[in-house]
Amino acid sequence: MFALLTLHILAVTIWVGGMFFAYVCLRPVAASLFEPPERLQLWRQVFQRFFKWVWVTVIVLLLSGHGMIAVFGGFGSIGVHVHIMLALGYLMFLIYGHLFFSPYKKLCSAVEEQRWPDAGEQLNKIRKIVGFNLILGLITIAVAAGGKFIF
Ligand code: HEM
């Protein structure tokens, strides 16, 4: 249980903390310092590194989360807050999967072929999706950590 919960929290920290840093800190600075070609190449390379880690965190969250549920004795033995976490978690995974396989892949090919307006359009989509998943992630953490005092 100790190892599962520790891995779970480390994965949450890396994923949600990474989205917070990208959205709140790096995005405005990159927008003010760089013209589109440099900015779009910067984001393409930042995402290339970050998204590898996000895949790791998604797998760790799934394995550790379901591992803990099994240790607790199955779905009948978990609280409402864990059910909500699980539902929000799966929503976050689906949103991330869409982001990775659609706008991110399109961003990569647009940057490769130096189609900057198209790349900008995809980056804009990614910005909105990451902003949404960040809010969802923060809500999920609040429900997961504070939910047991409410439900
Ligand atoms: C398939 C997805 C997930 C499953 C099955 C799952 C399952 C679990 C379980 C069983 C616990 C232990 C609950 C307890 O000790 O009462 C837990 C803890 C936690 N989970 Fe998840 N989780 C999932 C996804 C997520 C996501 C996406 C986040 C945040 C973005 C998250 C954040 C947390 C936090 C912060 C805790 C610690 C709660 C505490 O000990 O106070 N989980 N999770």
- Which residues approach ligand 1 with their CB closer than 6 A? 8-9, 12, 16, 61-62, 65-66, 68-69, 78, 82, 85-86, 89-90, 92, 137, 140-141, 144-145, 148
Token pair, residue 68, equals: 């803990």
pLDDT number for residue 38: 97
> Atom 32, ligand 1: which residue's CA is nearest?
141
Whether the Cβ atoms of residue 114 and residue 37 lie closer than 8 Å to each other = yes
Token pair, residue 114, equals: 């130096």
The CB-side HSE value for 6 (13 A sphere, CA atoms) comes to 3
pLDDT number for residue 120: 98
Exposed e or buried b for every residue in 126-143, given b needs 16+ CB within 10 A?
Answer: bbebbeebbebbeebbeb
* Distance between Cα 8 and ligand 1 center (Å): 7
pLDDT number for residue 151: 80
**What's the N-to-C CA distance of the chain in angstroms?**
22
Whether the Cβ atoms of residue 140 and residue 88 lie closer than 8 Å to each other = yes
* Distance between Cα 89 and ligand 1 center (Å): 8
* Distance between Cα 37 and ligand 1 center (Å): 39
DSSP string, 56-110: HHHHHHHHHHHHHHHHHTSGGGS-HHHHHHHHHHHHHHHHHHHHIIIIIHHHHHH
The pLDDT tens digits along the chain (151 residues) read 999 999 999 999 999 999 999 999 999 999 999 999 999 999 999 999 999 999 999 999 999 999 999 999 999 999 999 999 999 999 999 999 999 999 999 999 999 999 999 999 999 999 999 999 999 999 999 999 999 898 8
> Atom 11, ligand 1: which residue's CA is nearest?
65
Which residues does 86 contact at the CB level (< 8 Å), separation at least 6?
A: 65
Which pTM does this prediction carry? Answer: 0.94
* Distance between Cα 82 and ligand 1 center (Å): 6
> Atom 25, ligand 1: which residue's CA is nearest?
89
Q: What is the CA radius of gyration of the chain?
A: 17
Which residues does 39 contact at the CB level (< 8 Å), separation at least 6?
A: 30, 31, 123
